[in-house]
Structure 1
């Protein structure tokens, strides 16, 4: 298949490739800028509240449809 010399050359090429990938990854990690976390807008807060309210209403209606059980939990 391959001679010992060509295997050595391939090993060196692979090693060089791995090192270049490592250095690129390191440089990407360094240049990464931290993002600024934004607060939720008023409309998003209203949307979250309305979803929670809708879930509670659905849960309450489901319990009301079964008169034998009385707990909502």
Structure 2
């Protein structure tokens, strides 16, 4: 009797796991043009900031004589 109960439980768990795998938690949203522009501008700002940090550091000072 205990084995039949365990078998039923295992079958139930397997079916629940399969049903969870089939469902998508969300629909993928396409990026709008404004989102793409925002992402590009953030990347550009980050690159400019890193470049200025390197340029302003005392180690990168080169003097032409």
Q: When the two structures are superposed, what TM-score results if normalisation uses the length of structure 2?
A: 0.64
Large movers: runs of 4+ above 6 Å? none
Of the two structures, which has the highest relative contact order with CA contacts closer than 8 Å and spacing of 6 or more? 1
Quote the Cα distance in structure 1 between the aligned partners of 2:46 and 2:21. 44
Cα distance between partner residues in 1 of 2:2 and 2:52? 70
| 1:50 matched residue in structure 2 | 41
Matched, 1:12 2:4: yes
Q: Write the distance in 2 (CA, Å) between the matches of 1:12 and 1:38.
A: 45
What stretches of structure 2 of length at least 5 have no aligned partner? none
Matches within 5 A, 1:17-56: 17-26=9-18, 28=19, 32=23, 37-56=28-47
- Bigger radius of gyration: 1
